[in-house]
Amino acid sequence: MNSSVQKLLDRIDTKRDEVTALTQDLVRIPTVNPPGDAYEACAHFIGERLAKKGFAVEYVRAIGAPGDSDSHPRTNVVARWQGQTPGECVHFNSHIDVVEAGSGWTYEPFGGQVANGRVYGRGTCDMKGGLASSIIACEALIESGLPIPGALEISGTVDEESGGFAGVGYLAERGYFSKPRVHHVIIPEPLGVDRICLGHRGVWWGEVETRGRIAHGSMPFLGDSAINHMSAFIHLLETQLQPRLQGRKTAEPVEPPGARVSTLNINSIHGGQVEQHYANDERGWPTAQTPAPVVAHSCRTVLDRRFIAEENLEAVKQEIIDMLDELKRTRPGFDYGIRDIMSFVPTATPKDAPVVDATARAIARVLGRQPSYIASPGTYDQKHIVRTGKLHDCIAYGPGILDLAHQPDEYVGIQELVDSAKIMALASLDLTGWTRLNPA
Ligand SMILES: [Zn+2]
């Protein structure tokens, strides 16, 4: 191995405490989403650190985007370090938002405690540990004094957990994830230190409403219950569609393997008047207002259909519309409405793409083993980079165990933080063009 490359790796080894402390500092900023707390503080924490290291730093607030308000500004940070000579730009994109802590913790959720060679806390694994590794990787590259061509970019973006529309989506629409500015993107999501995530399944969220006729609840035969109609629809989903989806297998390496088929989740259902949480007082009277007795004239459900690369979005929707039309033909009084809430088609970066190749070689060098290639069951910000930014050289790669994301006692291993920082730094040497200009 080139001796300057070995020096770079040794330098990252000396940053073990630094990457740990940086992860702790980030976890202690409680960027909980929803509602989107402390984004401004977190973006500035990252930006001020990188400005000191020679990055040009921009703060981009997603004014007018969903969720943005003066009390909860959607503030993103984008930092760029420009090399002295022409080359390509490698961008590390991490979301700064985390989900709520929830219950069941034995560690302080926002304490960033270190124990057992790990940092514990909400967001350690998903994905402030990955953000810290990418910052340390870039700082080590800059401090090494190697003549790195091209540019290095780091962004901390908001709202990934709620779709990323004010984060990567907003930035992608403004050219931050397109050529000629950026050529390669690594998203340090917690996929594991030796796994490269090439893309994700597709998603369609839709709302279906069944309609009936209102009447007095004591004489339901005078009305027509939308809830009964919905129940007939859900029966078809369960007995026909879900078994059919189980048989629809993808060739993509989706992890976990249970997600290598198409799936449908019924996210929510509501029919009739809004119910309260009832309790009875000492007289036996309900403590909350009771609804009036009516036959439900409307029932709504939100469907979450995840589809595989071998399917297409139009067919996914049509399959559900066909079932609803069948009910309309066969079930007296059945009527429905359907509307899209959100959809993204599957993405898959080819295995021979530059960012995949460079990361695979870096994994082999640092860990001494070949990577495994996976795809994600759910979407993440790669969808905006591919669809809006039209940039296809994008992967997710970062430290942490995916299963721990969103769980109590979430953690990231400190050795993994160091190893993935080395891998990100080596991949950047290749992708910016340094390796080609400085053969061993
Ligand atoms: Zn994440």
pLDDT in tens, 292-329: 899 999 999 999 999 999 999 999 999 999 999 999 99
pLDDT in tens, 197-206: 999 999 999 9
Give the span between the Cα atoms of 431 and 106, in whole angstroms.
42
Residue-level pLDDT at 287: 86
Give the span between the Cα atoms of 390 and 434, in whole angstroms.
25
Residue 327 C-alpha to ligand 1 middle, in angstroms?
A: 40
- The dihedral built from the CA positions of residue 386, 391, 393 and 398, taken in this order, carries a sign that is negative
Give the span between the Cα atoms of 218 and 295, in whole angstroms.
9
Is the pLDDT confidence value at 7 over 60? Answer: yes
DSSP 431: H
Residue-level pLDDT at 274: 84
Report the chain's mean pLDDT, rounded to a whole number.
96
Burial (CB count within 10 angstroms: exposed 0-12, middle 13-18, buried 19+), residue 44: middle
Is the pLDDT confidence value at 334 over 80? Answer: yes
DSSP 424: H
φ/ψ region of 267 (left if φ > 0, alpha if ψ in -120 to 50, else beta) reads alpha
pLDDT in tens, 47-92: 999 999 999 999 999 999 999 999 999 999 999 999 999 999 999 9
Residue 47 C-alpha to ligand 1 middle, in angstroms?
A: 20
Predicted confidence band at 1 (pLDDT cuts at 50, 70, 90)? low
Predicted confidence band at 2 (pLDDT cuts at 50, 70, 90)? confident
Is the pLDDT confidence value at 437 over 70? Answer: yes
What are 184's strand-pairing partners? 90
Burial (CB count within 10 angstroms: exposed 0-12, middle 13-18, buried 19+), residue 64: exposed
Dihedral of CA atoms 196, 92, 358, 352 in degrees, nearest 10, equals 60
pLDDT in tens, 30-45: 999 999 999 999 999 9
CB atoms within 10 A of CB 7: 14
Residue 396 C-alpha to ligand 1 middle, in angstroms?
A: 10
Residue 26 C-alpha to ligand 1 middle, in angstroms?
A: 14
- Helix residue ranges per DSSP H, 205-277: 226-236, 242-246
Query: What are φ and ψ of residue 436, in 5° steps?
Result: -65, -35
Yes or no: say if 112 and 120 are a contact pair by the CB < 8 Å rule. Answer: yes
Residue 141 C-alpha to ligand 1 middle, in angstroms?
A: 25
pLDDT in tens, 349-391: 999 999 999 999 999 999 999 999 999 999 999 999 999 999 9
Beta-sheet pairing, 151-157 with 89-95? parallel
Is the pLDDT confidence value at 439 over 90? Answer: no
CB atoms within 10 A of CB 228: 18
Is the pLDDT confidence value at 289 over 80? Answer: yes
Residues 285-298 have a mean pLDDT of: 90
Global confidence as pTM: 0.90
Predicted confidence band at 275 (pLDDT cuts at 50, 70, 90)? confident
Residue 379 C-alpha to ligand 1 middle, in angstroms?
A: 10
